[in-house]
Structure 1
Amino acid sequence: MGRDTKQISIDRTDAQRLNEDLTFNLVQAMARIGIRHFCICPGGRNAGMIDLIAAEESFHIVSFHDERAAGFFAVGKIMATGEPCCVVTTSGTAVGELMPAVMEAYYSGLPLVVLSADRPKRFRGSGAPQTAEQERIFGLYTPHFEDLEAESEPLLHTWDLKKPCHINLCLEEAYEHDYSRFPDIRFESRQESSSLFREEHQEAVHAFIEKHEYPFAVAGALSPGEAAAVKRLLLHYQLPCLLEGHSRLRADKDLQHLFITYGDDALVKSAAFGYPIDGVLRLGGVPTSRLFRDTEFLEGKISLLSVSKNPFAGSSWGDLLHTDLSRFQSPHWRPEGGFAKKAQDWMERDRALLSKMEALYEKYPRAEQTLVHRLSKIIPLDSRLFLGNSLPIREWDLHATTASPLEEVYAVRGLNGIDGQISAFLGLLHPQKKNIALMGDLTALYDLNAFFALKDCHGAFTLFIINNGGGKLFRKLFKNPLIQNNHELGFAHWPRMFGLSYAKVETSIIGPELLQYAVVEIVPEQDQSDAFNVEMRP
């Protein structure tokens, strides 16, 4: 039986009013829960949404032609502000482009909102133009999902703002819209108090430390409040630790006597030097370090406890405390001498390795490791630093100076991919600070259209790209060169396309004058990088 064309004709006469009601009610619901930041990806179907959002001066708007870049920019914006950010898309494949950013936000515990335009529900399964099955398209990665059409009431007030959210707006065909009949948008700010922390969580952490003879802590990404609490905990127990760059504690002068820098073989070498680690305490985000990954093979031999605001252990075994670390306080009892006293021989071995690296920085001035070390020395202390995934974040943790206590260090580590990294960095830009990013060449190639957003965002920045001609993280692991994606590409023309300044470094000189450029391409000498690694092998 054919469709009732009379009913469809009636629906079309009301289409504009129905779309306006639905769109206004949703945008009003967003404002009431404190959504202020929007990344808009214009299309025909979401034009009415964009007009309403753009008319509100209190909203902060950045426009994109590419949804994937918009999604990762939103991830960076959420990390920078601690507030939700909404990406507005048209229908069809535009929605699917957001899957990588939504997955990242899910594992990072970020309140990313996807607002997608859709055709009316009656078109589902029809194969009509620009009609995809957008209902729950992101699956488990958007725990809060709403599928709204005419006369539906938004339920955004029930969203917990702790994971991504998808609102799918089913709109009738209408190319005109007029919101003059609606009242002004009313703003509220819903303050979410942490419901994760329990006193017994704090007691469980203290009990874990105290029941082991040789405990060791590994800190991943931490918020400022979490970093302060972790610092108190480490100092209280004098607990040996590995502090990653985005923990905000790596260069803290009060913790240097507890800090192990060379953690790649720590689980083996610690025993050889009198501190056989029997318990690993992971604090904050999932670490990048080899040490934490090596715990995967030690089930039944050591204990493992992860303490994080995100509900992921980061390992196939071990215990997880899903809690708010920033609420932790130190107990009144203090161990005599602390654990660091037992680890002195191991600490001395680590200091000897650091001295050896200092000598290798002189011996191999164009090694990638040396260039990262020298770069870390020119970054102003009040900068905001973003570390790209893969090799750069690992080299920073191993080779960056600890003489400069940078507090604002960020990385996108929820799912550890290299896509969207430049976009996420741009989302993090602080308008009053110097913003610096360190990334690899494949990471940059993945996100070359990110600079399109610069017309709508502000902040002085320098993006350092270490161009070693491919994915050299895999060089030590796999013999097949295809896995490395080797290439001979350079980046000179790319920044100029966007009117940005550019410099290329093919020497060992890394000076503060490089910070005047927007993009700096650093080309290490691969033979020196390989030789550096060979000499550092145990």
Structure 2
Amino acid sequence: MTSDKKTVNLLADMCLAQGIRHIIISPGSRNAPLILTFAAIESFTCHVVVDERSAAFVALGMAQQTGDPVALVCTSGTAVLNYAPALAEAYYQQVPLLVLTADRPTEWIDQADGQTIRQDGIFTNFVRHHCTLPPDLHTPDDEWLCRRLIADALLAFDQGTSGPVHINIPLREPLYGRTVHQHKKTHHVAYSQGTSMPDADTLAELAQLWSGTERVMVLAGMHRPDVALQQVLQQMSERERVAVLTESLTNLYGEGFVRCIDRVVASIGDDEAPLFRPDLLITFDGQVLSKMVKTLLRKYPPREHWHISPHGHATDTYRCLTRVVEADPATFFTQLMPLVEPTKSRYRDLWHKRVEQTNQQHQQAMQALPWSDLKVFDMVLNALPTGMSVQLGNSTPVRYGQLFDVWNGIDCYANRGTSGIDGCVSTAVGAALARREVTHLLVVGDVSFFYDSNALWNQHLPSNLKIVIVNNGGGGIFRYIPGPSDTDELEQFFATSHHMHAEMIARQFGVAYWRCENETDLREQLATLMQHPHTAIVEVMTPAKESARVLKGYFAAMRG
């Protein structure tokens, strides 16, 4: 039996028709009709996460892996606001989430009633669509309106850029009534999307512009694995004038790509930077992590910058945008490249020679490393087996990940939509829940882990999740970036130094735990971690000041 609320039953029927199957529920009373209905329908898989902030990041991790919408259900009041950080991250990552918030009827808003805030449009800046449903369905017209509002909301997942959708649901008391609802295949509005591509004349024009350049840089940022795009980029990288630059989060791997761009760009001095400046820069949707390459391109901008976007986003990250091409990148490159005339150029080889140089410098630096954060990342990332999925925490771990060429056959993700530390652990939990056939490793800093340790308070903690905490006693990034590292307030206000360990947190949640402080222990415990049949944690203690000194020395070595 489901809830006796007609609105809720209609919503459930339409979610089924949309193909939504996973529901993340946080307990409450006002959302009782939603809980009773979703829990009663076998086609839904319901997960319970008490903390709404964590719940939203768990949903983000699930949808990030599958590309399918995951629904969130919570009660009214401040519970709703706790979704905001994850929704902002999902909005900028373009990850689909369906947010279902229970609410008081409109007449009770601002009337000093309990657990009542203004929820209509509360996430306007971070959702692709939002609506509030009518609380009562007395007439066929009422039902038609409700159905239309839900259909419009669900249709937003298929129209344009993906992202969160918010449906606010006012519900009257009594809240716990039940009925026998005959779930039936309901009316579903399908969306047939056309293929956006430049016409033949525009393609010819672009090919001519490309053919007139000697140096072309394709810069790929955060992206989901895409076989078609990877293949065409590999073909492009074989052309003498084209340098394809990728990051750890790009999830596109080619032998001809310039990988580990932070260590490569770090080696480029101001006197030679103009040689590496492209005539034509090509980007596509997905944030670029590397601040170094952003700085290089802003200081030495190309003559032309094309941004390829399926939905026509005019993203001007490098302050030199000259053209937006509304097209799927793989399709666009596949159709354009046969029209581009081959030409002699040293641009690709210039980058590849610098890659060879920095690879040698990197290997030399790794051989001489003392115990430090960088040594830990060298050991952990080089021990990754093919087929694993990795989540890198903000802010330091994801930057260390840029320095290692280990990502062939390994998926790599991080919350770089808004780059906050607040949901790294919960996102990894969701990712592991969504793809149970894969082992997921979260590499996270101590501050990020402690901030989001509530992620382990989860009835469904997946056994295929392994966690490595790099504990350097604070926010390590502030110890080496210019600015805070030179202030007297560094340790107290920026790095927020501490002497905490994660052992008691692990014990509280029944998670296996090991701690290590040297290479021998880490090597042994990594092997134990990967073989453990359940969620487990290895916490690695590293020296704070030494780690900052080592990393600064590493980049000095890259610069020669």
Partner Cα distance (2:163, 2:205) in 1? 26
Which of the numbers 303, 326, 332 marks the counterpart of 2:338?
A: 332
| Mapped pair 1:156 → 2:141 | no
Match in the other structure for 1:11: none
Aligned residue pairs total: 515
Match in the other structure for 2:315: 313
Decide whether aligned partners of structure 1 residues 52 and 520 sit closer, same or farther in structure 2, where only a CA change above 3 A counts: same
| Mapped pair 1:525 → 2:543 | yes
1:349-372: per-residue Cα shift (whole Å, max 9, x none)? 332222222122121231322221
Deviation at 1:94, TM superposition (A): 0.4
Q: What are the residue-to-residue correspondences of 1:13-412 with 2, within 5 Å? A: 20-148=5-133, 149-151=135-137, 152=142, 153-154=146-147, 155-158=149-152, 159-161=155-157, 162-180=162-180, 182-186=181-185, 195=194, 197-200=196-199, 209-225=210-226, 226-235=229-238, 239-250=242-253, 252=254, 254-256=255-257, 260=261, 262-265=263-266, 268=269, 271-272=272-273, 274-294=275-295, 297-298=298-299, 302-309=303-310, 311=313, 313=315, 315=317, 317=319, 318=321, 319-328=323-332, 329=334, 331-333=337-339, 335-336=341-342, 339=345, 341-398=346-403, 400-402=404-406, 405-412=408-415
Match in the other structure for 1:6: none
TM-score by length of 2: 0.84
Match in the other structure for 2:436: 431
Deviation at 1:256, TM superposition (A): 4.9
Deviation at 1:196, TM superposition (A): 6.0
Partner Cα distance (1:211, 1:193) in 2? 38
Q: Secondary structure at the match of 1:469?
A: coil
Q: Which consecutive residues of structure 2, in runs of 5 or more, have no partner in the other structure?
A: none
Decide whether aligned partners of structure 1 residues 20 and 500 sit closer, same or farther in structure 2, where only a CA change above 3 A counts: same
Match in the other structure for 2:464: 460
Paired residue type of 1:165: V
Paired residue type of 1:423: S
**Which has the larger displacement, 306-315 or 29-38?**
306-315
Contact 1:212/1:279 (<8 A) preserved: yes
Deviation at 1:313, TM superposition (A): 1.5
**Which has the larger displacement, 170-179 or 152-161?**
152-161
Q: CA RMSD in A?
A: 2.9
Q: Secondary structure at the match of 1:186?
A: coil
* Percent identical: 24
Deviation at 1:113, TM superposition (A): 1.1
**Which has the larger displacement, 73-82 or 364-373?**
364-373
Q: Secondary structure at the match of 2:242?
A: coil
Partner Cα distance (1:448, 1:258) in 2? 33
Q: Secondary structure at the match of 2:5?
A: helix
Q: Secondary structure at the match of 2:394?
A: coil
Partner Cα distance (2:374, 2:17) in 1? 49
Which of the numbers 530, 533, 556 marks the counterpart of 1:515?
A: 530
Partner Cα distance (1:461, 1:350) in 2? 34
Deviation at 1:472, TM superposition (A): 1.8
Partner Cα distance (2:295, 2:19) in 1? 42
Decide whether aligned partners of structure 1 residues 73 and 411 sit closer, same or farther in structure 2, where only a CA change above 3 A counts: same
TM-score by length of 1: 0.87
Match in the other structure for 1:416: 419
Deviation at 1:437, TM superposition (A): 1.3
Partner Cα distance (2:420, 2:309) in 1? 20
| Mapped pair 1:446 → 2:451 | yes
| Mapped pair 1:495 → 2:506 | yes
Paired residue type of 2:412: V
Q: Secondary structure at the match of 2:179?
A: coil
Partner Cα distance (2:259, 2:494) in 1? 38
